């Protein structure tokens, strides 16, 4: 397996403009009148130090979303022709954003008023700790535009009048990269960041929020994004040459399957083959999916220097609002990713682990700050992963019902639905476990839950075509599942099956369920879900 330096995997953590500080104790401390800008600078440095202690290799810090930037200004560019251009992230723009509260906490304002650059503070402290610092851009963030409201983003608001055709009506709050004016406006910000900071690279986050074009035009417009990335690549190459550096990396955060990428206009194969990108982060929009087909991306990188850092998220699945990933769950996902060629992992929204610092209703206990970083330390070492319990979660990431749709358009419901009204109710689900269960030192168990089943209903269960004997099955009735336990579920049976090899195998496994005796109401379809595999040292 390809690994990071010193036979360890790399951790490439991504933060948006404010989450790295907003949800930790710094937030409330920075609001006190007796805390000045220098004290806040020290707090920022302590936060970066915690990353370094955990062994984080690359800190990707957001500076741009929706044409809002935390790069401090005023500053005027004065080209040779004498014209004057006020950048999009000018003082006027920042005052506008401050008025509407966009990420401008009291502490950040104190820094700015003291002439301190938040990004420069974090960058310098990363370098002090021998960590790489990457500037990240959210390419089409729509947090403020989930409806028609875009007032957080004044340039987009102005485009409603000046260039209404540039806005993505299909995806409110988004902009259409089909137009050169849009692409050039984003390139302005990227050029500013490269010019302003001694950065170690750029990361383009295409997953916020995935759609750069009208859905019907995305595939045909893929060359426009490839050209855009080529221009960013040239900016970085020019800067590297000026600064005497071999290369400044360009990373991209993209959808977790090649089909999704193609549908969105991301020509990943060309980006890699043409040497435009140095690392890719295939990821779900919001959840950690152990079934991510890492090998599809590895095949594209063969013979290149491009690295793969799949995304990991604290959140488990849609509506699992009170439960978060722990070490066994992260270790299982990492086991799958590393076994198929990933070079590390890329945490996203990691602040959920200590979220109650922000609000009692937010997931994550207060005491997890900064202890949660130890979870990342464990993921750097194949030995630590092998020594830990591994808990594979194949939950319904996106059910497709009502508002549970993956923004990429994917439908990862991870269920088997058995329709009683059909002649032969059956279904299959494929789950990936990178485990050698011929190893006598490992003990594994497969579990799943099935709703709308009554006691007299009977299932035939097969794994990779081998029927599981009835005496090997354990079935237990539950009246339901509360939000504190995970996704709310109706009354259900929990099935538990000891898992060995055979029938299980390293890699992709197929479980087939067949309803052999159907007694319940015909209109009630059985729904098997929350497939899980526990692997422990015996």
pLDDT tens for 486-509 read 999 999 999 999 999 999 999 999
Q: Read off the tokens for 52.
A: 């370094």
Query: Domain with 435 in it: what CATH number?
Result: 2.60.120
Exposure on the CB side of residue 64, measured as CA atoms within 13 A? 27
Instruction: Kindly state whether residue 485 falls inside one of the protein's structural domains.
Output: yes
Q: What is the pTM of this model?
A: 0.93
Instruction: Kindly state whether residue 399 falls inside one of the protein's structural domains.
Output: no
Shared-domain flag, residues 478 and 349: no
User: Would you state the pLDDT for residue 503?
Assistant: 97
Segment (H or E) for 161: helix 154-162
| Domain range for 160 | 5-394
Shared-domain flag, residues 442 and 368: no
Shared-domain flag, residues 365 and 475: no
Q: How many residues does the chain have?
A: 538
d(CA 297, CA 295): 5
Segment (H or E) for 510: strand 507-517
User: Would you state the pLDDT for residue 7?
Assistant: 52
Shared-domain flag, residues 421 and 390: no
User: Would you state the pLDDT for residue 520?
Assistant: 72
The CA–CA distances, whole Å, from 339 to 299, 344, 380, 434, 507 equal 14, 11, 14, 6, 9
Low-confidence ranges of the chain (pLDDT < 50): 1-6, 74-89, 93, 96-97, 99-104, 146-151
Quote the DSSP letter at residue 469.
P
User: Would you state the pLDDT for residue 19?
Assistant: 86
Shared-domain flag, residues 49 and 83: yes
Among residues 508, 500, 390, the alpha carbon closest in space to that of 436 is found at 500
Shared-domain flag, residues 50 and 190: yes
Instruction: Kindly state whether residue 408 falls inside one of the protein's structural domains.
Output: no
Residue 297 burial class via C-beta count within 10 angstroms: exposed 0-12, middle 13-18, buried 19 and up: buried
User: Would you state the pLDDT for residue 319?
Assistant: 86
Residue 522 burial class via C-beta count within 10 angstroms: exposed 0-12, middle 13-18, buried 19 and up: exposed
Shared-domain flag, residues 364 and 435: no
Last residue of some domain: 359, 394, 429? 394
pLDDT digits (tens, 9 = 90+) for 281-313: 999 999 999 999 999 999 999 999 999 999 999
Number of domains into which the chain is organized: 2
Instruction: Kindly state whether residue 465 falls inside one of the protein's structural domains.
Output: yes
User: Would you state the pLDDT for residue 18?
Assistant: 83
Angle at Cα 93 formed by Cα 88 and Cα 94, nearest 5°?
A: 120
Last residue of some domain: 394, 424, 443? 394
Shared-domain flag, residues 64 and 102: yes
Shared-domain flag, residues 345 and 461: no
- CB atoms under 10 Å from CB of 121, counted, come to 18
Query: Domain with 327 in it: what CATH number?
Result: 3.20.20.80
């Amino acid at each position: 397996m390809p690994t990071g330096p010193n036979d360890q995997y790399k951790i490439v953590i991504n933060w948006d403009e404010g989450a790295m500080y907003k949800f930790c104790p710094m937030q409330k401390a920075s609001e006190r009148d007796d805390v000045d800008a220098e004290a806040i600078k020290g707090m920022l440095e302590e936060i970066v130090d915690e990353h370094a202690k955990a062994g984080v290799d690359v800190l990707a810090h957001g500076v741009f979303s929706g044409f809002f930037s935390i790069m401090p200004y005023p500053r005027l560019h004065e080209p040779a022709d004498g014209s004057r251009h006020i950048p999009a992230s000018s003082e006027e723009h920042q005052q506008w954003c401050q008025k509407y509260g966009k990420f401008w906490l009291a502490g950040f304002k104190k820094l700015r008023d003291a002439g301190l650059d938040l990004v420069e503070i974090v960058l310098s402290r990363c370098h002090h700790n021998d960590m790489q610092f990457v500037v990240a851009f959210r390419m089409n963030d729509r947090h403020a535009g989930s409806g028609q409201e875009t007032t957080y983003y004044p340039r987009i608001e102005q485009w409603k009048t000046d260039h209404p055709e540039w806005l993505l009506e299909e995806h409110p709050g988004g902009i259409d990269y089909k137009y050169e004016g849009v692409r050039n406006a984003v390139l302005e910000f990227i050029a500013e960041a490269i010019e302003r900071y001694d950065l170690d690279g750029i990361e383009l986050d295409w997953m916020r929020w995935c759609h750069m074009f009208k859905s019907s035009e995305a595939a045909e417009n893929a060359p426009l994004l490839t050209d855009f990335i080529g221009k960013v690549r040239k900016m970085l190459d020019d800067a590297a040459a000026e600064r005497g550096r071999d290369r400044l990396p360009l990373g991209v955060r993209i959808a977790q399957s090649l089909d999704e990428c193609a549908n969105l206009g991301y020509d990943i194969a060309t980006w890699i083959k043409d040497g435009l990108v140095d690392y890719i982060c295939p990821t779900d929009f919001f959840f950690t999916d152990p079934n991510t087909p890492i090998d599809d991306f590895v095949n594209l990188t063969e013979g290149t220097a491009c690295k793969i850092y799949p995304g990991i998220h604290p959140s488990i699945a849609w509506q699992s609002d009170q439960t978060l990933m722990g070490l066994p769950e992260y270790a299982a996902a990492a086991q799958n990713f590393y076994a198929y060629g990933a070079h590390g992992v890329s945490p996203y929204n990691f602040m959920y682990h200590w979220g109650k610092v922000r609000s009692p209703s937010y997931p994550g206990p207060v005491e997890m700050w900064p202890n949660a970083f130890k979870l990342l330390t464990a993921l750097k070492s194949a030995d630590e992963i092998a020594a830990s319990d591994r808990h594979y979660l194949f939950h319904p990431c996106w059910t497709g019902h009502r508002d549970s749709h993956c923004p990429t358009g994917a439908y990862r419901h991870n269920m088997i639905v058995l329709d009683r009204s059909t002649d032969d109710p059956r279904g299959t689900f494929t789950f990936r476990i990178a485990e050698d269960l011929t190893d006598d030192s490992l003990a594994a168990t497969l579990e799943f839950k099935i709703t709308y089943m009554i006691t007299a209903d009977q299932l035939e269960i097969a794994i990779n075509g081998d029927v599981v004997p009835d005496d090997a099955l354990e079935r237990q009735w539950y009246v339901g599942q509360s939000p504190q336990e995970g996704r709310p579920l109706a009354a259900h049976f929990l099935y538990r099956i000891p898992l060995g090899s055979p029938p299980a195998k390293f890699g992709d496994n197929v479980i087939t369920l067949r309803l052999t005796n159907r007694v319940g109401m015909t209109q009630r379809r059985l729904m098997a879900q929350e497939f899980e595999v526990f692997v422990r040292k015996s």
